[in-house]
Every structure is written in C-alpha cells, then in structure tokens.
Amino acid sequence: MSQEKRAGFVTILGRPNVGKSTLMNHIIGMKLAITSRKPQTTRKRMQTVYTSDAGQIVFLDTPGIHKAANALGEYMDRAAVKTIEEVDAVLWLVEPSTYIGAGEKYIAETLEKANVPVILVVNKIDTVKKAEIPPVIEAYKNILPFKAIVPVSAKHSTGKQELLDAIFSLLPYGEPFYDEDTVTDESQRNIVSELIREQALRNLSEEIPHGIAVEIESMKNRGDIWNIEATIYCERNSHKGIIIGKGGSMLKKIGTGARLEAEKLLEEHVNLKLWVKVRKDWRNDEKQMRMFGYNKKDNQ
Ligand SMILES: Nc1nc2c(ncn2[C@@H]2O[C@H](COP(=O)(O)OP(=O)(O)OP(=O)(O)O)[C@@H](O)[C@H]2O)c(=O)[nH]1
Ligand SMILES: [Mg+2]
C-alpha cells in the first residue's frame, strides 16, 4: 500500500575524496557520477533516484567541502552546503579515522546549525582492521546527535542494506517523486562530458586535471553508433601540450578510456573526437565558469 511507502531527498556530504560518489553509484547500481583518487572530482551536485519496495530516495551527490582556492572552489562548496536546506536527511561520509580535523569540525558546525537529521557513514572500512572501527564511532558519536552511525565499504558492497534501512526510517511517508525506472535527471550529454573529465583526472598528474573543463560540441546518434565531438579546455599552453602528449598519446589514452565508459552508459558504439583548447585562468572567471555549466545562480 502506498500509505506505507516513504519518499524523500537525501544529500551526501563530506570532505573531498571520502567516497561520496562511489557510494551513490553503488546504491543506485550504475556508474552515474564520476570518481577518482584525486580530491575535488565532483564539481556540481548530481541527483539520482533509488526506488525499492520501501519507497524512493532521491540522492544528491555533492562536491567535497574544502577550503576554496578559487571561484570554482567557492561554487563547489556552496553547491554542497546549499543542499542541506533542501533535504529530509543528510549522509555525512567520513574516513575510518579517529582524527577529527578542522574540515570535519566545520561540517559538524554547519549541520548543527541546519538542524537536519544526520546519519554518520564511516566509509572505506575495508581499509582498516575490524577492531579499528569502534574507536572511530566513539570519536564521532558525541559531536552531533546522529540518527544512526553506519560503517560501510562503498567499494566492497558492505553495509548497503543497513544504510538504506536507516535512511528510509527518517523519510516521511508519501508517494514517489519519480517513476520507478528513473535513475537520474542528468542528461546523457552532461554525463558523457563528465566521463571525459574523469579520464583526464585519472590519467593526468598534479594540478592539470583540476583546471580542466569539458564541452560537448555535438552528440548525434546514427543508427547504432554515437558520434560525439568534445573539447577539453585547460588553463595554460603548457598544460595543453601535456594533455595532448607525445604524438597525441595522452589524448588518445583519455579518449579511449572515455569512449569505453560512454559505450557502457549509452549501450551503443561510440565514436569520440576530442580537441584541446586553452582558456586562461577560467576557474577565477565567473563568466567563463558559467559557459562550462558552473553557474553561481544554481546554488542560491
Ligand atoms: N578502499 C576503498 N576505497 C574507496 C571506497 N569508497 C571510495 N573509495 C575510493 O576513494 C576514492 C575517492 O572516491 P570518490 O567517490 O571519487 O570520492 P568523493 O567523496 O566523491 O570525492 P570528491 O568528489 O572529490 O569530493 C576513489 O579512488 C574510490 O575508489 C571504499 O569503500 N573503500
Ligand atoms: Mg565525488
């Protein structure tokens, strides 16, 4: 009976690199959000939908909350914090460590002020010994009145059902917001541009991928093949050379990786053409940021 079903919005918050996007993909059962070992992978919030017999959870994956070094960083922090006002519950993801630093304290204070139900999710428990988990819970349990504390491993499928049960118990009874086949409202075009950025993050070192933006120039389906053309923008001429690589080798690597991921997403063959261009210091230029889809107004 629909009376017994629950439905609501849940944001996934935390410092960069704690596994927010990995966890969301894992719950939805599809690779929708990009992930990487580098912090600040996610730049915009992404909405995905999980539906089961218990009801529906609309998840918001958010950028990691960090000390912003430029206008893009400020946009990212705002994109995360703003979601708190819009949801029924928050999942606060942390590393399995007893060290609670300034970043965690800032998040705790922000959540306390918002007065929203919070579930603490201790992720990456596959990286520590079992005996190391209770001290982590002990270290965190008094800093906020958590509704639940759930240890999980987003990578190894541990704790998923317990987490889902904890979330549903906090959601109001009600009808689902989306039909049961919906997994996201993000366009295929946006996801493909993110898949290209993901390969840049995974294959390039240091600061270079943080200054990259991707624009899809065209995306056309011809029978059973997608022809996609995209431009990778970077901040400096020297970066452009590195992205292209010797004889085009790096661009080829990025393109092949992105094509394979896009084929999984679109379930058809993909023909991907990439270009590289320079947009100097775009991460501090709000007009250029807007052109890449990072519009301050989204987070107001
Ligand atoms: N061992 C292990 N690694 C994990 C787990 N969850 C995520 N990771 C890894 O942690 C890294 C960061 O994961 P992301 O999902 O991109 O982290 P994020 O919190 O979304 O990061 P930002 O978008 O930068 O804020 C990736 O290399 C993941 O494979 C886990 O449960 N166990
Ligand atoms: Mg992420």
Express each pLDDT in 5-39 by its tens digit.
999 999 999 999 999 999 999 999 999 999 999 99
Atom index in ligand 1 nearest the CA of residue 18 equals 19
69 in the same domain as 99: yes
Residue 184 DSSP code: B
pLDDT for 210 beyond 90: yes
In a domain? residue 180: no
148 in the same domain as 26: yes
14 in the same domain as 43: yes
pLDDT for 2 beyond 70: no
Please give the Cα distance from 206 to 64 (Å, whole number).
18
239 in the same domain as 129: no
Q: Is 190 strand, coil or helix?
A: helix
pLDDT for 1 beyond 90: no
Domain boundary among 168, 198, 220: 168
198 in the same domain as 159: no
Q: Please choose from 23, 32, 35, 92 the residue to mutate so as to test ligand 1's pocket, defined by most ligand atoms within 8 A of CB.
A: 35
CA of 37 to the centre of ligand 1 (A): 7
C-alpha separations of 259 from 226, 254, 271 in Å: 10, 8, 7
Sequence-distant (6+) residues with CB within 8 A of 190 are 293
Name the phi and psi angles at 17, rounded to 5. 75, 10
CA of 143 to the centre of ligand 2 (A): 24
Between 188-203 and 249-266, two packed helices, what is the crossing angle to 10 degrees? 140
Smallest CA separation from ligand 1 atom 30, residue: 124
202 in the same domain as 137: no
Atom index in ligand 1 nearest the CA of residue 14 equals 19
| Residue-wise burial string across 195-211, b where 16 or more C-beta atoms lie within 10 A, e elsewhere | bbbbbbbbbbeeebbbb
Sequence-distant (6+) residues with CB within 8 A of 45 are 11, 60, 61, 62, 63, 79, 80, 83
Would you state the pLDDT for residue 298?
87
Atom index in ligand 1 nearest the CA of residue 61 equals 20
CA of 72 to the centre of ligand 2 (A): 15
Mean pLDDT in residue range 55-82: 97
In a domain? residue 173: no
From the CB of 18, is ligand 1 less than 6 Å away?
yes
Would you state the pLDDT for residue 3?
63
The rounded mean pLDDT for the chain is 96
Write out the residue range of the structural domain in which residue 130 sits. 6-168
Token pair of 221 as six digits: 């389906």
203 in the same domain as 111: no
Atom index in ligand 1 nearest the CA of residue 123 equals 31
133 in the same domain as 58: yes
The pTM score is 0.97
Would you state the pLDDT for residue 157?
84
In the chain, the percentage of residues whose pLDDT exceeds 90 is: 95
From the CB of 73, is ligand 1 less than 6 Å away?
no
**Residue found under tokens 């894992």:** 26
CATH code, domain with 77: 3.40.50.300
204 in the same domain as 285: yes
CATH code, domain with 214: 3.30.300.20
CA of 23 to the centre of ligand 1 (A): 8
* Total number of domains in the chain: 2
132-167 tens-digit pLDDT: 999 999 999 999 999 999 999 999 989 999 999 999
Would you state the pLDDT for residue 101?
95
244-274 tens-digit pLDDT: 999 999 999 999 999 999 999 999 999 999 9
- Stated as kind and residue range, the H or E segment containing 108 is helix 102-114
